[in-house]
Structure 1
Amino acid sequence: MCRWCVCIAAACILWFAAWHDAMAATNVVVFCIDNYPPYSYEVNGRAMGIYPAIFRRAFSRMDGYRVTLLPIPWKRGLHYLKNGQGFAIVPVYYKPELRPYIWPYSIPVLRQEEVLLCREHVLASRTRQHWPEGFYGLTIGKNAGYATGGKAFNEAVARGDVFLSEAKSNRINLLKLGLGRTDCYLNDRLSIAWELGQLMGEGLYDEGGAHASLGKPISIHWEWGHLGVTRMDHGRYYFKADFLEQLNGILSAMQATGEIREIVEGIMEGACPKGP
């Protein structure tokens, strides 16, 4: 057999093997929050940010799966998981009592610190800054659908001791805070810093001028971000146990080698945020 024939035959075999592997792979869609920078957001229809970067790399190392990361509004993603119409969402905090339709979760991926950012003069008038009792009577902003603040805060809201104002994004909430429509804003430290830096860089937040001066963020508590899977699929996602077993092993290895930390640092250095 001529050398060219051997080469062509070998190429055909390799192509067929690749085609067979591709055809055998299970297609999976994982939702990503579309408006939670720097953790997860959308740019021209593509999921971007810290979590998409981590999971895109992890998914590329899984056997038998072809995973698409789909940016989607947070509340819509939860709705789809609640109805079993979606497989998984990232990032999500471990809240099995609040969201019983999500189970199981991946291993913890990133530790996120929740903080309270208030207008400077609001803090000056507070003799106590213990959370949440020290902030009774104030209007606290937070992102719609986010499980932030803790049980005592939610109970205070239910009693009317604290007033809650929800908006769909960090940007809207920070502008509301700056214009005095809310007294404080509750969210992740890194997310607040990133968005405030973007607003200032674009000339849309004039601190001490058209917008309020802001105090030092107050640490409330921390949470771990996970990938969460629907439990409402009635066997539709028969592969979930194997999927999570593979994913957890890969994520553990990425944590052990410092790869996840490097991804976070690289993205934040590129963003160069300015803020609290």
Structure 2
Amino acid sequence: MIVLVFYCLLTYGEKISVVIHVDDNYKPYSYKLKQQAKGVYIEVLEAAFSNMEDFQVTMVPVAWQRGKQMMEKGQGFGLAPVFFHGHDWPYLYPYSIHFYEEKILVICQQKVLEKKRKFWPDDYTGLHINNVVGFDGWGGSRFREFIKQGKIKYGEVRGIENIILMTGLGRGDCFLAEESSFDVVYAKLIQSKQFYVGVRYVNLVKGAVVGLDPVYIGYSEVAIEQGKYPFYKKFMKSFDIELYKLKKTGVVKKIMQEALLKH
């Protein structure tokens, strides 16, 4: 899966101005359109931020890998959307409450799944499986071990659209994707006739579920320890409270349902 980085720029009255960088290439959740941040998660975050009386928040898209580097170097405050990485990204901690749970699947050429492949990743050995660049939390530790052992050939591709088109053309047997993201982008590619099953493209089919992961804002421990964001506790508490209210009243669910239809 998405990037969030906070800078304190200036103060409007009593409000602290904060710039948030979000993943620029994770349709339909977070992406760049005409230099603006768009997507399902953007709408959820905007709803929460708009209720935070002490903060003026603006979101700016950035490449995912760049966002991670900024967190690691303490050049920003937070990163989103992220899975929990306290165990393998030491620079990213703490985390907000989660605002969604993503279902990660393995998507394959139809012929690959003609053989029964129920268990992940054991039933997928011997295959070439691609993943979106930077989404190294997907697949699980056993999958990563199989890659090291050479039991699975692995590659990374920038963006869900590219990875769908590549696999449809036979450049790889399968790939990892978030289910709703795949559904939306695959349908749009077929509708626009960029992807068509026929002489060149093969049909793609959903395989095993490889993970169910909550999505958070993760904060740069490096930046916090350097004292760059003295307001960090106030911001984190305020965001969690406003997001919690939106979740409990059903607003987040409504936003998600409506936004998935338009992005």
SS at match of 2:222: coil
Deviations 1:192-243 (A, max 9, x none): 1111112112111012442011223432221011011101111101111110
Matching residue of 1:237: 229
Matching residue of 2:78: 88
Aligned counterparts of 2:250 and 2:106: Cα–Cα separation in 1:
29
Deviations 1:63-122 (A, max 9, x none): 221111111111000101110101112101111112111111110110110011100101
Matching residue of 1:175: 165
Q: Does structure 2 conserve the Cα–Cα contact (< 8 Å) formed by 1:129 and 1:135?
A: no
Normalised TM-score (structure 1)? 0.87
Query: Within 5 Å, which residues of 2 pair with 1:29-44?
Result: 29-44=19-34
SS at match of 2:177: strand
SS at match of 1:237: coil
Equivalent of residue 42 in structure 2, options 49, 52, 57: 52
Q: Does structure 1 conserve the Cα–Cα contact (< 8 Å) formed by 2:117 and 2:208?
A: no
Moved more, 77-86 or 22-31: 22-31
Deviations 1:121-159 (A, max 9, x none): 0111x3443100101010101101102101111111111
Matching residue of 1:15: none
1:137 aligns with 2:129: no
- Gaps of at least 5 residues in structure 2 are 1-10
Aligned residue pairs, count: 250
Q: CA RMSD in A?
A: 1.3
SS at match of 1:197: helix
Alpha-carbon offset, residue 265 of structure 1: 0.6
Q: Does structure 1 conserve the Cα–Cα contact (< 8 Å) formed by 2:113 and 2:207?
A: no
Aligned counterparts of 2:172 and 2:66: Cα–Cα separation in 1:
25
SS at match of 2:230: coil
Matching residue of 1:255: 247
Normalised TM-score (structure 2)? 0.92
Deviations 1:26-55 (A, max 9, x none): 121222111101111111111111111011
Deviations 1:142-187 (A, max 9, x none): 1011021011111111111111110110011111100111100101
Q: Which has the larger radius of gyration?
A: 1
Query: Within 5 Å, which residues of 2 pair with 1:1-276?
Result: 22-124=12-114, 126-146=115-135, 147-233=137-223, 234-271=226-263
SS at match of 2:66: helix
Whichever residue aligns with residue 246 of structure 1, its letter is S
Q: Does structure 2 conserve the Cα–Cα contact (< 8 Å) formed by 1:140 and 1:185?
A: yes
Alpha-carbon offset, residue 246 of structure 1: 0.6
Q: Does structure 2 conserve the Cα–Cα contact (< 8 Å) formed by 1:59 and 1:247?
A: yes
Aligned counterparts of 1:244 and 1:207: Cα–Cα separation in 2:
47
More helix by share: 1
